[in-house]
């Protein structure tokens, strides 16, 4: 099951030190209209997915396997 995180979620290394901020990206196919877009990022333990229009709402973290399954099903 995906994990939901609120904005401001900071990742820490095993030593407890902050790591680089998450870098979110939109699909090249999103277009310039700004509607119905999601952003993706590499996050600890998987792939982060969030609404580009409301990033403050947080994000879902999908395991790599769950993300691959999602993409496979979307392509059908």
Q: Is the pLDDT of residue 10 over 90?
A: no
Given a cut of 80, whether residue 42 has pLDDT beyond it is yes
Average pLDDT over residues 35-64: 91
Beta strand pairing call for 59-62 and 46-51: antiparallel
pTM of the model: 0.67
User: Is residue 35 classed as helix, strand or coil in its secondary structure?
Assistant: coil
Q: Rounded mean pLDDT of the chain?
A: 80
Of the listed ranges 19-28, 46-55, 65-74, the one predicted with least confidence: 19-28
Residue 70, both tokens? 């999602």
Percent share of the chain, pLDDT over 90: 42
Which residues make Cβ contacts (< 8 Å) with residue 71, sequence separation at least 6? none
Say yes or no to pLDDT of 41 above 50.
Answer: yes
* 14 or 54, higher pLDDT: 54
């Amino acid at each position: 099951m995906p994990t939901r995180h609120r904005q401001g979620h900071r990742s820490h290394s095993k030593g407890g030190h902050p790591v680089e901020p998450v870098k979110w990206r939109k699909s090249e196919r999103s277009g310039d209209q700004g509607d119905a877009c999601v952003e993706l990022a590499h996050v600890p333990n998987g792939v982060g997915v969030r609404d580009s229009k409301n990033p403050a709402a947080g994000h879902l973290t999908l395991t790599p396997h769950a993300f691959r399954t999602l993409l496979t099903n979307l392509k059908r």
